Structure 1
Amino acid sequence: MTDQALPRVVDQATWQHELDALRVREKAATRELDAIAAQRRRLPMVALPDYTLTGADGPVRLVDLFDDRQQLITYHHMWFPDAEWQCGGCTSFTAQFTRLEFLAPYDARFVVVTQGPIGEALAYKEKVGNKMDWYSTADSPFGADMGAGPGEGFAVNVFLRDGDTVHRTWHTDGRGTEQLTHTFALVDLLPYGRQEEWQDSPPGWPKTSTYSKWPGSEDVAAAYGPQGVSA
């Protein structure tokens, strides 16, 4: 027997009744997310200048990041100059994207951009075992113009290409990026949830400080890096 607080124990009929009541809200949320996605598809877009970033092989135009596809997602990875370990949240977030081939039938690509110099960025990518393609905005205003400049946070941007003209169609940052991760979707299914102090949980539920259960960059490197268990 555990001395930790537990959900109350009920009979099958009571459990099913309460699950059915929750399911009404879950289905309503699904329909609302569908409506939000429909509104997102109707957003206008803005044409961008011809930015140049830096890739593993040198300078690369923004339009070339599409790799001949029409749609592009960029994750703007936080970067701290001269730091051994970069943002743990960004590192663990991008570590989950190990297979991106499924985007090809949708004529889309998903890449990482960061303010770090390309040599340092690629070395960090290797150290933590990241599988995504990385590009540097260190010598370009692109990161700052897209909401993730030097010393700023992380962001996600989406673009649509019309010939050689790139248009920005969507942007988010902060908790807006949660919809892209399976991590919280799985954890939020658990009876105890994220166990973070800000969450609405019953009395006695385990609580820890926010971020305390998140994997750090060192943890990601240990799991996925060259010497990691998944290497």
Structure 2
Amino acid sequence: MTAQALPPVVDAETWQRRLDELRVKEKAATRQLDAVAAQRRAMPMVEMPDYTLEGEEGPVRLADIFGDKRQLIVYNHMWFPGEKWQCHGCTGFSSQFTRLEFLAAYDARFVIVTQGPLHEALAYKRRVGNRMTWYSTANSPFGADVDAPPGGGFALNVFLRDGDTVYRTWHTTGRGIEQLSHTFALMDVLPYGRQEEWQDSPKGWPQSATGGRWAGSEDIAALYGPDASTA
């Protein structure tokens, strides 16, 4: 670390003025996100077929995955057949969600669906210490129909149930997933940010390849899996 990799040092008055200038932009961004969320709530929806997926207790209708809730968030986890370690981005993202009970107050549930065969998917869940509920769409067209086909990327879909009828209300992928993650939000308030080469950072700031600092699936397993250290 060199002097060139440090922010300039100023007096408290100058620092506060710069912070106040930044706050104006931060507040504007917050209001814009509120407007986007309002538009999302006003989206129409599309009726879904009566899919059957595989769960830990056997076949389950999509409508029944909601349990007694009306809203359902589904993260479609990437799956590579025959691989011991699955997508480290998906593994890291889903490892964040260990306390989802608060969603019950909002009449909602959040689960993982993957193209992997159920027994392999559940074995992987245990290996990496994942705490979410997993389902398999290996024997159903559900994944392909919600933009997460076999061999495809990750996705996030949201559904609304009215009786036994399920509707798709929203979908995103790529960087659209970031808004659900606290990891990137925490990185973005750090002086050096995500430290990735695409970011607009001052000269001398530490930067590396995109995703180069993300934890690998084996790292996640070491931290949270059954063999994780308790020290």
Name the TM tier (shorter chain).
over 0.9
SS in 1 for 2:193: coil
Deviations 1:109-168 (A, max 9, x none): 000000000000000000000000000000000000000010100000000000000000
What is the deviation of 1:5? 1.1
What is the deviation of 1:229? 3.0
Amino acid at match of 1:47: E
Partner of residue 73, structure 2: 73
Q: How far, CA to CA, are the matches of 2:198 and 2:229 in structure 1?
A: 33
Amino acid at match of 2:108: A
CA contact (8 A) 2:158 2:168 kept: yes
Amino acid at match of 2:106: Y
Q: Gaps (5+ residues) in structure 1?
A: none
1:25 aligns with 2:28: no
Q: How far, CA to CA, are the matches of 2:144 and 2:87 in structure 1?
A: 18
SS in 2 for 1:205: coil
Q: How far, CA to CA, are the matches of 1:4 and 1:148 in structure 2?
A: 44
Q: How far, CA to CA, are the matches of 2:184 and 2:194 in structure 1?
A: 8
1:139 aligns with 2:139: yes
Q: How far, CA to CA, are the matches of 1:218 and 1:151 in structure 2?
A: 21
What is the deviation of 1:79? 0.1
SS in 1 for 2:5: coil
CA contact (8 A) 1:178 1:184 kept: yes
Mapping 1:79-158, distance limit 5 Å: 79-158=79-158
Mapping 1:3-14, distance limit 5 Å: 3=3, 5-14=5-14
Partner of residue 47, structure 1: 47
TM-score (norm 1): 0.98
Partner of residue 163, structure 1: 163
Q: How far, CA to CA, are the matches of 1:73 and 1:230 in structure 2?
A: 32
SS in 2 for 1:161: strand
Q: How far, CA to CA, are the matches of 1:27 and 1:205 in structure 2?
A: 26
CA contact (8 A) 2:55 2:135 kept: yes
Q: How far, CA to CA, are the matches of 2:120 and 2:3 in structure 1?
A: 48
Amino acid at match of 1:38: A
Q: Gaps (5+ residues) in structure 2?
A: none
Deviations 1:22-60 (A, max 9, x none): 000000001111111111110000000100000011110
1:211 aligns with 2:211: yes
Aligned residues between the structures: 231
Partner of residue 198, structure 1: 198
Q: How far, CA to CA, are the matches of 1:161 and 1:211 in structure 2?
A: 36
TM-score (norm 2): 0.98
CA contact (8 A) 1:223 1:230 kept: no
CA contact (8 A) 2:127 2:221 kept: yes
CA contact (8 A) 1:158 1:168 kept: yes
Runs of 4+ with deviation above 4 angstroms: 1-4
